[in-house]
Chains A and B, each alone.
Chain A
């Protein structure tokens, strides 16, 4: 297996406190190599979304380590983790999370705006990402004018805008019909294989197994199979 770009080692995550506390992840260790599309599956409450939050530096584990591009982010400050999210990670959400007030093009360039990069290169990158996702002809439309599949393609373009090595997708096909879902899954696979990015997809969708290079199953916060 090639080098690991993203990994977790013996992480535990607990939600809530006192009697209301619940162990979401228990002693989970996983690694995700470059150029792979890893599918994380499991029933509701198995800890998939918690794992994705930890991988995305959005949630810190109670203990254990999280490595992003070789750096243990559990030792990083909040500001450093924000920078890691901005520069090294791309996110794709089930609910797309596009800004309704912005056009497709503006939604994509928002990633650069956030990084303080408003130059011509950002515009060129946005055009390139939209072209890659075959959305150039709809770049001036707002999310309300796009179909679910188109919205997800814009969201993927936004995620790729800063050229991250890691792409994290939460149920990217759940809001889409089966045909569009397969199209999006194919795009994610191509991103992993052709662009040598690490793509981690959390999903219930069994059809995605066909696109994955490796599948992780979680149950009750533990790795059931890997």
Chain B
């Protein structure tokens, strides 16, 4: 067994403290990263659920949740542009939701035509191939308690109009503090008193063999009073708005960046401290004639062993803790790639911290072995 590994095993407390330091850093980075990614994902969640190529919005709309209405004529003009295969309507508005027990809750009411795509949460009639149940609403499962939904159907009111909650969906929690509720476009227009000549978003599917960018260009030319975005552009715009224009987004972004930096500093610090504790041993190795390579191997092996143990410990703690946090923060999300994105810099930091340690270990005066 190598000297590096023996040293670590010998001082188990120190090893555990170092590994815990790395584990804490890994946990911090993954948790804050999950919050940030979940936040960004949620910011464009409804947009991404639509099976569309192009979104037409009122001028200056920055995100899905805060919108303005569009005139009906835009829909008709858009339909006339070559390459546009279909136009669907989507509406979004804050609404007053009355629970079965009579209490009120502010919600975000989203309505859409069934042609928006099967991933878009709507109250489909089971087995009907896209028909929507009238006056029916679906909610995200994480909001069911908040909205007083315990069985289906549950009768409620939206803006003082009767409706019933017919089912629940997954993955559409909102960070606004007002839950999303989903219904057909017609019912949404009725609940939010949207005029028959109005829509909030027009979402377009482009016909086969047509180029999205060139169709978008034509639409912009024909509709100079509105904004025309590809689906990806509108999703990015929405994310950018939430992350840069709101306090919540900025706070989460700052926390994630700080967590990352603090995590890396903690990793470096703990690794460096471990090396400093063995400085006399490095002096002895040098006095006994150890080559630079031998000393570097010892330091690097110690650092990487601490780092690997810490990362394993951190990951094993993070996965259940993130799952637990999801009960409170439903939109927290840990994509698989976040783990390597955090672990690789952690390992890199261990190596960089080792380089500082190696420099110290190599520069230690071997003659200090004669001091008592």
Which A residues have a C-beta under 8 Å from some C-beta of B? Answer: 49, 52-53, 56, 58-59, 79, 82-87, 89, 91, 93-95, 97, 99-102, 106, 110-111, 113-115, 158, 170-171
Instruction: Name the residue in B3, B11, B370 with the highest tally of chain A Cβ atoms < 10 Å from its Cβ.
Output: B370
Check B9 for interface membership: any CB of A closer than 8 A: yes
Other-chain residue from B6, B281, B289 in contact with A85 (beta carbon distance below 8 A): B289
The reply to whether B370 and A101 contact each other, CB–CB distance below 8 Å, is no
Q: How far is the CA of A111 from the CA of B369 in the complex (A)?
A: 16
| Alpha-carbon distance A97/B291, docked complex (angstroms) | 18
A contact residues around B3 at 8 Å (CB): 99, 101-102, 110, 113
Bound form: Cα–Cα A59–B370 in Å: 12
What CA separation (Å) do A62 and B367 show in the bound complex? 16
- Please state if B370 and A93 are interface contacts (CB–CB under 8 Å): yes
The smallest C-beta distance from B146 to any residue of chain A, in angstroms, reads: 57
The answer to whether residues A58 and B366 also contact, given A100-B10, A101-B10 and a CB cut-off of 8 A, is yes
6 A-B Cβ contacts within 8 A? A82-B286, A93-B284, A100-B10, A101-B7, A110-B3, A114-B289
Assembled-state Cα–Cα distance A115/B288 (Å): 10
Determine whether B221 belongs to the interface, using a CB cutoff of 8 Å to chain A: no
Q: Is B66 an interface residue (CB 8 A)?
A: no
A223 vs B162: C-alpha distance when bound (angstroms):
109
User: B6–A86 contact, CB under 8 A?
Assistant: no
Cross-chain contact B290 with A114 (CB below 8 angstroms): yes
User: Of all chain A residues, which has the CB nearest B1?
Assistant: A106
**B285 engages A58 (CB within 8 Å):** no
Complex Cα spacing A171 to B369, Å: 12
User: Which A residues lie within 8 Å of B370 (CB)?
Assistant: 49, 52-53, 93-94, 170
- Is the CB–CB distance between B372 and A101 below 8 Å? no
> Which residue of B6, B11, B290, B372 is within 8 Å of A102 (Cβ)?
B6
Interface residues of B, dominant DSSP? helix
- What chain A residues lie within 8 Å of B280 (beta carbons)? 97
Tell whether A101 pairs with B288 under 8 Å between CB atoms, given A52-B370, A53-B367, A93-B369: no
B294 at the interface (CB under 8 A from A): yes
Docked pose: A100 CA to B9 CA in angstroms: 11
Q: How far is the CB of A154 from chain B (nearest CB, A)?
A: 13
Which B residues are in CB contact (< 8 Å) with A100? 10
* Distance between Cα atoms of A58 and B283 in the complex (Å): 10
- A91 CA to B153 CA in the complex, in Å? 86
Contact call A86/B372, Cβ cutoff below 8 A: no
The distance in angstroms between the C-alpha atoms of A83 and B291, with both chains bound, is 8
On chain B, the residues within 8 Å of A99 by CB distance are: 3, 6-7, 281, 284
Which 6 residue pairs are nearest across A and B when measured between Cβ atoms? A86-B289, A101-B10, A85-B289, A101-B6, A58-B367, A53-B367
Q: Which residues of A contact B329 (CB under 8 A)?
A: none
Q: A101-B3, A102-B3 are in contact. Are A85 and B10 (CB under 8 A)?
A: no
Nearest-neighbour CB distance to chain A for B331, whole angstroms, equals 48
CB distance from A8 to the nearest CB of B (A): 16
Determine the distance from Cα of A52 to Cα of B280 in the docked complex, in whole angstroms.
18
Q: B5: shortest Cβ distance to chain A, in Å?
A: 9
Complex CA distance for A118 and B4, rounded to whole angstroms: 16
Is B287 interfacial (CB 8 A cutoff)?
A: yes
Q: How far does the Cβ of B127 sit from chain A's closest Cβ, in whole Å?
A: 70
Question: Is B372 within 8 A of A85, CB to CB?
Answer: no
Bound CA–CA A100/B214 (angstroms): 73
Contacts of B289 in A (CB 8 A): 82-87, 89, 114-115
Check A85 against B285 for contact (C-beta < 8 Å).
no
Q: Which residue of A lies closest to B286 (CB)?
A: A82
A158-B3 Cα distance, complex, nearest whole Å: 15
The answer on a CB contact under 8 Å between A82 and B10 is: no
Report the bound CA distance from A121 to B267 in whole Å: 41
Q: Closest CB-CB distance, B289 to chain A, in whole Å?
A: 3
Shortest beta-carbon distance from B266 to chain A in Å: 25
- Asked if B287 contacts A101 (CB within 8 A), the reply is no
Contact A86 B290 (CB under 8 A): yes
In the bound complex, residues from chain A placing their C-beta under 8 Å from that of B367 are 53, 56, 58-59
A132 CB to closest chain B CB, in angstroms? 19
Report yes or no: B11 in contact with A86, Cβ–Cβ below 8 A.
Answer: no
Q: Which residue of A lies closest to B285 (CB)?
A: A114
Chain B residues near A91 (CB, 8 Å)?
Answer: 287-288, 369
| B-chain residues with CB within 8 Å of residue A158 when the two chains form the complex | 288
Roughly how many angstroms separate A206 CA and B286 CA in the complex, as a whole number?
A: 31
- Closest A residue to B372 by CB, please name it: A95
Instruction: Tell me the complex Cα distance, A158–B11, Å.
Output: 23
Inter-chain contact B6/A82, CB cutoff 8 Å: no
Residues of A within 8 A of B369 (CB): 58, 91, 93, 95, 97
| CB pair A101 B9 closer than 8 Å | yes
**Nearest Cβ in chain A — how far from B133, in angstroms?**
71
Whether A114 contacts B288 in the complex (CB less than 8 A), given A102-B3, A106-B6, comes out as: yes
